[in-house]
Structure 1
Amino acid sequence: MIAFCGLSCTECPAFVATQKDDDEERKKVAELWSKEFKCDIKPEDINCDGCLEESGRLFNYCKVCEIRKCGQEKEVKNCAYCDDYACEKLTKFFDMAPEAKTALAEIKKIFRKEGFFSCDSE
């Protein structure tokens, strides 16, 4: 599952801990992210079914993520399908997560080859 931003939800530690229902893993992720992001994250905050889910559990950041909000408003599968790809929000995010840029670029390339993006040339 590729999130709007290009991250792989299935590789996200919060998603993995949630799907395994593993409280020890939640604790480890909370400790790691608390240090990494310099904020207080509790193990019970580590619950996420992926940002593409409308009614599933979401990590707190995902609830306020501008990229997710934009993708939902535009009703796209992820940002690779957006006419405004790659916008300023994404470009800033790619500085922090270059793997997301790679994932979305691959999706865009596949659809170009198959002719789904008729306005793109290549």
Structure 2
Amino acid sequence: MIAYCGMDCSKCEGYLATQADSEEKREEVAKKWTVQYNTEVKPEQINCNGCKSDGIQFFFTENICEIRKCNIEKITPHCAACSEYKCEKLEKFIELAPPVGEALERLALSL
């Protein structure tokens, strides 16, 4: 599954920890993301079947993610398909998560 931000969910550490239903992997991801994103992430928050799923989603994705909200509102499969691709909101997100920018560039080239 390709997330709204362009990331391949099958390569996401949070998604993989959820699919494995591994508390050990959730702890590893929580520690890593706490440092990487300079915010506290708890192991119990690492539960995600992808931002496009009807199932469980990472708390940030479900409740806070402006990228997800925007794509749902515009009915786009991902940001690279948006007429406003690379908007200010997306640029700020890419600053925090550079792999998102790389993934979206690959998607944009395939359109």
**TM-score tier (shorter):** 0.7 to 0.9
| Map 1:9-88 → 2, pairs under 5 A | 9-53=9-53, 55-63=54-62, 64-88=64-88
Letter in 2 for 1:110: S
Q: CA RMSD in A?
A: 1.6
Shift of 1:8: 2.3
Change (3 A) 1:17 1:80: same
Change (3 A) 1:28 1:82: same
What TM-score do the two structures reach when normalised by structure 2? 0.86
Change (3 A) 1:27 1:86: same
Shift of 1:102: 2.1
Shift of 1:94: 1.6
Q: Who is 1:2 aligned against? A: 2
Q: Which has the larger radius of gyration?
A: 1
What TM-score do the two structures reach when normalised by structure 1? 0.79
Which ranges in structure 1 are unaligned for 5 or more consecutive residues? 112-122
Distance in 1 between residues matched to 2:71 and 2:90, nearest whole Å:
11
Letter in 2 for 1:60: F
Q: Who is 1:102 aligned against? A: 102
Change (3 A) 1:19 1:73: same
Change (3 A) 1:70 1:46: same
Shift of 1:38: 4.1
